[in-house]
Amino acid sequence: MPSAHTPSPRCHWFSVLAGALDRRSGRRLAALFLGVLLARGRHALSCWIRAAGLSSQYRRCYPTAAAVGRRVERIATRLLVEILKPLVTGPRVVLALDDTPTARYGPKVQGAGVHHNPTPGPAGSAFVYGHVWVVLGLLVAHPLGGVVALPLLARLYIRKANLGAVRATDRPRFATKLAMAVDLVRWAHGWLKMWGMAVWVVADGAYAQGPVLKPVLKPLRKLGVTVVSRLRRDAALCSLPPAREPGLRERPRVYGTARISLAKRAGHNGGWSTGTFTVYGKTVEKRYKTFVATWRPAGGAIRVVLVDEPHGWVAFFSTDPGATVTDILERVADRFTLETCFRDLKQVAGTGQQQVRGVPSNVGCFHLCAWAHTLTEVWAWARNADELVGHRSASPWDDPSRRPSHADKRRAWQHELLAEEIRAVVGEHHDHTKIRDLAYRCLDLAA
């Protein structure tokens, strides 16, 4: 079992998140977080259990993972409000929306189906069998430079054809990815509005549609949420409405009558401006055009930015007509950090390898990987680069000047966790049995 003498910040974070469950499951969840961070090699749930020293309670750990899946919003709320709030600075809170698949195997995995594979690779298939997750992440500027994405909450998208295979007690209502995206933004906005900061959402171009921008119940525009995304080349834009004549009592127009063609605007040689922007961590110079138009999916006026790229022009938009070109282009570039987060979740945290079948268990395990990623970034937030990459001395072929990766931060935290445990057992006690158990535990983690 892990030693009780552990660093207080780590224990505090784990107990804060575990407090959303009942007392017995909460204690196991706090220990299971340790297993998620210390597990090496395969990242099955059984590997987490062994790394956390919970092998004697393994039968109860599986229901604990399912309990996490049923209470993800409670835990994510604690993560956002009590742990991540000090990291948010500036005039606005920026959220990112995107979806990602996780490959699964076996016919008994509930909610799994055939989905489009966005990153097939040279020899990959265009389709993947598994789960698809709509993820909401928090974008924050890291002290070491650049922007990082911290996953907060996700929704499991299940095709309507696959819902029948899910057990009736765990079967969710069918919802599209767009409806899930709106639900995630509303959840976050309900808490972020108390911070007194503007809320921006930067989304993939697939989410720049009417169900997200102008849902039936309450538009995101009325919530005060600004959406930034890519704009289709054939978007049906209209001019601004004419000013209402004085004395008329009819409702003012929202959309203009003249159609705007993005292709004609981009093909015209005049009107281009040049600016310097910071995108993908580099300062670059770009040619752009910007104007205000009206768009029915957005429910009114939007700010449009056309950018002249080497491969052709691209268009972006913001539902806030007063947004600057710098804000739009830099926020669109920052969304790519969520794609990097997906890569780290699969390659470093082993998302999708947990070998559980039920929908609540799969949801719980995905969020445990996502929250472990977020907590690792928070732990490394105030530490300098030399402290995070000290292990590179054993790899002289590595570039010592590169910025610490998420794998570097995770490995540094693992070293600190084990070092604290060793000091607690060896430094304060001289019980040979505890020292022997600790030695075997370290060997099990290493091999």
User: Between vectors from CA 155 to CA 211 and to CA 220, what angle results, nearest 5°?
Assistant: 30
Res 3: pLDDT: 43
Rounded mean pLDDT of 118-127? Answer: 80
Rounded mean pLDDT of 68-78? Answer: 95
Res 356: pLDDT: 92
pTM for the complete prediction? Answer: 0.89
Picking from 51-65, 191-205, 296-310, 381-395, which range would have the lowest pLDDT averaged per residue? 381-395
List C-alpha distances in Å: 225 to 203, 222, 327: 12, 7, 15
Give the chain's largest Cα–Cα span.
93
Residues β-bridged to residue 92: 198
> Given a cut of 50, is residue 4 above it in pLDDT?
no
Res 217: pLDDT: 46
Res 33: pLDDT: 92
Res 436: pLDDT: 66
Res 5: pLDDT: 38
Picking from 133-137, 273-277, 416-420, which range would have the lowest pLDDT averaged per residue? 416-420
Picking from 28-37, 147-156, 232-241, 392-401, which range would have the lowest pLDDT averaged per residue? 392-401
Confidence of residue 218 (pLDDT cuts 50, 70, 90): low
- What residues contact residue 133 under an 8 Å CB cut-off, 6+ apart? 99, 100, 101, 102, 154, 155, 156, 157, 366
d(CA 155, CA 99) in angstroms, rounded, equals: 9
Residue with tokens 């995905």: 366
More confident residue, 421 or 344: 344
Rounded mean pLDDT of 139-165? Answer: 90
What mean pLDDT is reported for the chain? 86
Res 221: pLDDT: 66
Reduced to 3 states (helix: H, G, I; strand: E, B; else coil), residue 338 is helix
Res 7: pLDDT: 40
Res 394: pLDDT: 66
Percentage of residues of the chain with pLDDT beyond 90: 49
Helical (H) or strand (E) element with 77? helix 72-78
User: Between vectors from CA 332 to CA 331 and to CA 333, what angle results, nearest 5°?
Assistant: 90
Highest averaged pLDDT of the listed ranges 51-60, 121-130, 437-446: 51-60
User: Is the Cβ–Cβ distance between 261 and 304 less than 8 Å?
Assistant: no
List C-alpha distances in Å: 167 to 35, 108, 133: 29, 11, 19
pLDDT per residue as tens digits for the range 410-434: 988 888 888 777 777 676 556 667 7
Rounded mean pLDDT of 287-314? Answer: 93
Rounded mean pLDDT of 231-254? Answer: 83
Rounded mean pLDDT of 29-33? Answer: 91
Residues β-bridged to residue 227: 201
Res 429: pLDDT: 58
d(CA 203, CA 336) in angstroms, rounded, equals: 10
pLDDT per residue as tens digits for the range 346-356: 999 999 898 89
> Given a cut of 80, is residue 345 above it in pLDDT?
yes
- Residue 266's φ and ψ, nearest 5 degrees, are -70, -30
Res 427: pLDDT: 65
Res 107: pLDDT: 77
Confidence of residue 440 (pLDDT cuts 50, 70, 90): low
> Given a cut of 80, is residue 192 above it in pLDDT?
yes
Highest averaged pLDDT of the listed ranges 26-30, 69-73, 219-223, 425-429: 69-73
Q: Which ranges in 240-379 belong to alpha helices (H)?
A: 262-267, 325-334, 336-347, 359-379
Residues β-bridged to residue 203: 97
> Given a cut of 50, is residue 2 above it in pLDDT?
no
Show the tokens assigned to 391: 């292990």
Confidence of residue 211 (pLDDT cuts 50, 70, 90): confident
Rounded mean pLDDT of 167-182? Answer: 91
